[in-house]
Amino acid sequence: MQLSCKSHRPSHTDYTSNLSSWSTVQECRQRSTGVITLTTGEGENFSEIFGFRREDCDCRRDYTAAGFTTFSKVRLDLSKMNLITTDWQFAVTREGKNVPFATAGDCYSAARCPQGRFRINLSGTGFRVAQETSWISQGNYAVTDIRKSQDGSSVSGMCGGYCGKCTPSSVSNLPVTVE
């Protein structure tokens, strides 16, 4: 697996380390942050705050917090082994506002039918979502439906409410482990 590590030297040179063992991660940690390329692509790594709201049987696209963001790479805090969910350097917001990695929500309905969604797929990166990672619901009538693969390589979620969302329990970080 390849991880690009950024040095804190004045030149901000990027280094690449071949992470085949935990000791290599430890060596790379001295550089503080790295970047993981999401090999499965943006179609498998996105976050959405759904834009439509259901009012009196009509749907209106007027939720101002709505957005759809895709991710090609994510920044890794090597000292804590957390993906930084609010780093936008390798993200593209295709619609509306920036939506953090691993976050979803909506303002669609109080009827427990979430429309916001996210997907994470770390396959081929050498990292997995940490087993203890959980998501929290925020907002009114918030509903969270999270599905993790058995090996932790992928997670998908449907979240929402009136208005509600879900985020990783550590809010702006997503804990990961080395495969």
Instruction: Summarize pLDDT for 8-27 with one digit per residue, the tens.
Output: 333 333 334 444 444 444 44
Neighbour count for residue 75 (Cβ, 10 Å): 21
CA–CA dist 97, 108 (Å, integer): 17
Side chain identity at residue 21, one-letter code: S
Asked if residues 94 and 44 have their Cβ atoms less than 8 Å apart, the reply is no
**Winning range, highest mean pLDDT, from 9-23, 48-62, 144-158:** 144-158
pLDDT (0 to 100) of residue 14: 38
Q: For the chain, what is the domain count?
A: 1
What does R_g of the chain's alpha carbons equal in angstroms?
A: 17
Domain that holds residue 81: 2-178
pLDDT (0 to 100) of residue 110: 86
CA–CA dist 89, 101 (Å, integer): 12
CA–CA dist 160, 138 (Å, integer): 9
> Among 70, 77, 81, 82, which Cα is nearest to 6's?
77
Mind listing the pLDDT tens digit for each residue in 79-122?
A: 899 999 999 999 999 999 999 999 999 999 888 889 999 999 99
